[in-house]
Structure 1
Amino acid sequence: MNNDITSSFKPFLQPKEVYQGGKNIPPSNKKIYKLSSNENPLGASPKAVRAAKAILDKVDLYPDQTDIRLREALAADFNNEITTDQFITGNSGSEVIDMLLRAFVREGDEVIFSNPCFLPYAVFSRWYGSKQIDVPLKAPNYELDVEGIINAITAKTKVIFLTTPNNPTGTYIPKSVLDEFFKRVPKSILVVIDEVYRHFADAEDYVTALHYVKQGYSVIGLNSFSKTYGLAGLRIGYGYTTATIANYLRLIHKPFLLPITSIEAAIGALNDHEFISETVKTVKEGRKMITATFEELNIRYWPSQANFFIIEPPFPEMEFTDKMMQEGIMVRPVTQFGAPGKVRISVGNKEANLALIKALENIKTRD
């Protein structure tokens, strides 16, 4: 007889549905380039690191009871186009996702997302007993299916997740498409625009959630300090929305939520404009270099507005991943993200990108 306490509970999830983050670099005698987790190619913001170190002698004290200082820094970073009471922060963008789902979703409600996408949209919403509605991106270019989403909306729909640029595809949603979408979606539904890669987007018709927040739509722009600022290890993220929605979310915002080091590092990172510019420059130059290699080697890829690419490898994805690892390059299969047979490759610094190119050339030569 099973007396384990868990035996009396029926889990919402099966093990295969649990989100698994990217792997760390394994012990090796040779140089390994980690191009599997979309981390900052230059490391962390120097101002952020200095700010975190400077506060270490005060870690015996509780951090700020609220996140107001960080929200003030965020408002300034947005040129005060929105106010401090329109921001919500958390321990990573993923926690902000969890927070808004806890606030707006109940058992039996429906959540819409579009695969391929970031797996936690589905995983986290399932924790609260909701029904997941997948309206896949349209093949072959991974375009948002506005008509499909509108047709999928019911009286039980509470949250819709959109991502631009999208993880894992690197594609984006043009402004004209988002304009049409917001004209048709009921304002009673919270629309989450995950834009954690927004700094790397340079398409003329790219637009962030800010445009729609300022018009008063029920929308939240989701952001993270993990990519552009290089603070993935400190787990800090934020969202911005209307004051009404943000104040509602703050009702479940725990006191002393953010670690003291994370608060200081995030404020420092927002002010490190030189590092931000250099990061964006490095990614855009790397995208051009890697794109040219894909073209030369006839590797199918999708144009990216983020700091990574999704490709259709010349071998089955796991075989390709193993071959790349043998060449000293870590890449990530994205079947779990809803893109079977595809692999995601992050843009690195110049040294890493040159190593990637050499690895791709070696693999294709042996093909």
Structure 2
Amino acid sequence: MENGIESIFKSFLEPKEVYKGGKNIPAGINKKIYKLSSNENPIGQSPKATEALIKAAHDVAIYPDQTDIRLREALVDDFQGQLHVNQFLCGNSGSEVIDMILRAFINEGDEVIYSNPCFLPYSVFSRWYGAKQVDIRLKNSDYALDVDGILNAITDRTKIIFLTSPNNPTGTYVPKSVLEDFLNRVPKNIIIVFDEVYRHFADAPDYVTALPYVLAEHNVIGINSFSKTYGLAGLRIGYCYTTQKIATYIRQIHKPFLLPLTSIEAGIGALKDKEFVAETVRTVQVGRKFLAKAFDELGIKYWPSQGNFFIIDPPLPEFEFTDFLMNEGVMVRPVSQFGAPGKVRITVGTQEANEALVEALKKIKPHPKG
């Protein structure tokens, strides 16, 4: 008969789905490779962030700030004073902020609702804390949120519902009217985690962030990251904002010295660089239109996107398609792991990268998928 510790080991050693990030460009390749597989910033990183990072590098022999207060103060300025400094929480990436929220609210047997295809950590991280995972899939035809499906799945054990807008990997979003209808119908004791890390790229007239609903005191948490718009993926900076009551509760498990000095300084510098943000958004939105037009002309099925990427139905089986493009110098990402089997996600790049992708796509001779 197994003792308790052996049972725990057995449980954790059983094969389980784990989150794997996008691959880097393989070493030893001499030709130019355009990396359109990880939704990274197409034009690099904020110059003001780089300047702050270089300056901070001279002080890494000393401990960083004990708290994230200076970065939170910079976020207050970025949000034009609409939120109090105590409504923000920062962490090492948006993923860690998600983990922190789950640690704060989830106990064994609680339920977490999410909607595949979506960001895998919602399910992987919630499993770590013993949550029952409830997947109410996006509607397959247009990847729209199944509001009624989510509401019907709620039980007295439901603690957290994840919503994502724009959604990774589909690029779809939750329109304002849909979100408001949902918030008016969902029980008030449930935490809504609204992942909006791609919010800067959205230009739909009815797109909305979590901000107005946090200001209205809904139990909503807006998740954000410095990896996309600010080009700081390598520094792993994320944050969330919410009501003071929720933020104060979560802050009880916030570790001291959590953020490196370099990340704090680069994040503050990036928030000051409005010109870089504007250029990033312009590059993505122009590139998005260029690729959508090219996909239409080539007969490639894609879904309209509000992010800095597209999900497509490739003209070849997914791994044959990604291998073909890699041989042509373009990296893209299959997204079966995100709950979209057979589909491929393509990041919007620079105009040069986008043109290289289109030229590679023109060389494909489709055949029936096996």
Amino acid of the residue matched to residue 64 of structure 2? P
Aligned amino acid, residue 166 of structure 2: P
Q: Counterpart of 2:319? A: 318
Give TM-score, length-normalised by structure 1: 0.97
RMSD: 1.5
User: Does residue 25 in structure 1 map to residue 57 in structure 2?
Assistant: no
Q: What is the Cα deviation at residue 14 of structure 1?
A: 4.8
SS of residue in 1 equivalent to 2:252: helix
Cross-structure match for 2:137: 136
Paired AA for residue 230 in structure 2: Y
Distance in 1 separating the partners of 2:212 and 2:134 = 26
Match of 1:82 in 2: 83
Between the aligned partners of 2:318 and 2:53, the Cα distance in structure 1 is: 39
Separation (CA, whole Å) in 2 of partners of 1:200 and 1:24: 24
User: Contact (CA 8 Å) 2:118, 2:339: kept in 1 or not?
Assistant: yes
Cα offsets for 1:217-264 (capped at 9, x unmatched): 001000000000000000000000000000111100001100000000
8 Å CA contact retained: 1:142, 1:171: yes
CA-CA distance at 1:11 after TM superposition: 3.1
Amino acid at match of 2:25: I
Query: Which residue of the partner structure matches residue 264 of structure 1?
Result: 265
2: CA distance, partners of 1:326 / 1:109: 46
The answer as to whether partners of 2:66 and 2:258 remain within 8 angstroms in 1 is: yes
Q: CA shift at 1:97, angstroms? A: 0.3
Distance in 1, Cα, partners of 2:303 & 2:146: 18
Structure 1 gaps of 5+ residues are none
Task: After TM superposition, give the deviation of residue 15 of structure 1 in Å.
Answer: 4.1
What residue number does 1:206 align with? 207
Once residues 329 and 52 of structure 1 are traced to their aligned partners in structure 2, the CA distance between those partners, rounded to angstroms, is: 30
- Judging changes above 3 Å, is the alpha-carbon distance between structure 1 residues 16 and 290 closer, same or farther for their aligned structure 2 residues? farther
> Secondary structure of the equivalent of 2:240?
strand
Is the aligned partner of 1:219 residue 2:223?
Answer: no
Relative distance call for 1:7 and 1:327 in structure 2 (3 A) is farther
Instruction: Answer yes or no: is the 8 Å Cα contact 2:315–2:366 preserved in 1.
Output: no
Match of 1:294 in 2: 295
**Deviation for aligned residue 1:29:** 1.6
Give the Cα–Cα distance (whole angstroms) in 1 for the partners of residues 363 and 131 of structure 2: 47
TM-score by length of 2: 0.96
**Number of matched residues?**
364
CA deviation after TM superposition for structure 1 residue 350, in Å: 1.1
1:252-310 Cα offsets, whole Å, 9 max, x none, are: 00011000000000000000001000000000010011011100000000000000000
Hey, what does 2:63 align to over in structure 1?
62
**Whole-angstrom CA distance in 2 between matches of 1:248 and 1:314:** 49
Change (3 A) 1:269 1:6: farther
Alignment of 1:47-126 (within 5 A): 47-126=48-127
Decide whether the 8 Å contact of 2:175 with 2:207 is kept in 1.
Answer: yes
In 2, are the aligned partners of 1:12 and 1:126 still within 8 Å (CA)? no
Asked if 2 retains the 8 angstrom alpha-carbon contact of 1:63 and 1:259, the reply is: yes
2: CA distance between counterparts of 1:186 and 1:329? Answer: 46
Partner of 2:363: 362
Per-residue deviation at 1:10? 3.1
Determine the C-alpha separation between the residues in 2 that align with 1:40 and 1:74: 20
Q: Which residue of 2 aligns with 1:340?
A: 341
Give the direction of change, closer, same or farther, for the CA distance of 1:210–1:303 in structure 2 (3 Å limit): same
Give the C-alpha shift of residue 187 in structure 1: 1.5
Mark the CA change 1:23 to 1:338 in structure 2 (over 3 Å): closer, same or farther. same
In 2: Cα distance, 1:37 partner to 1:246 partner: 30
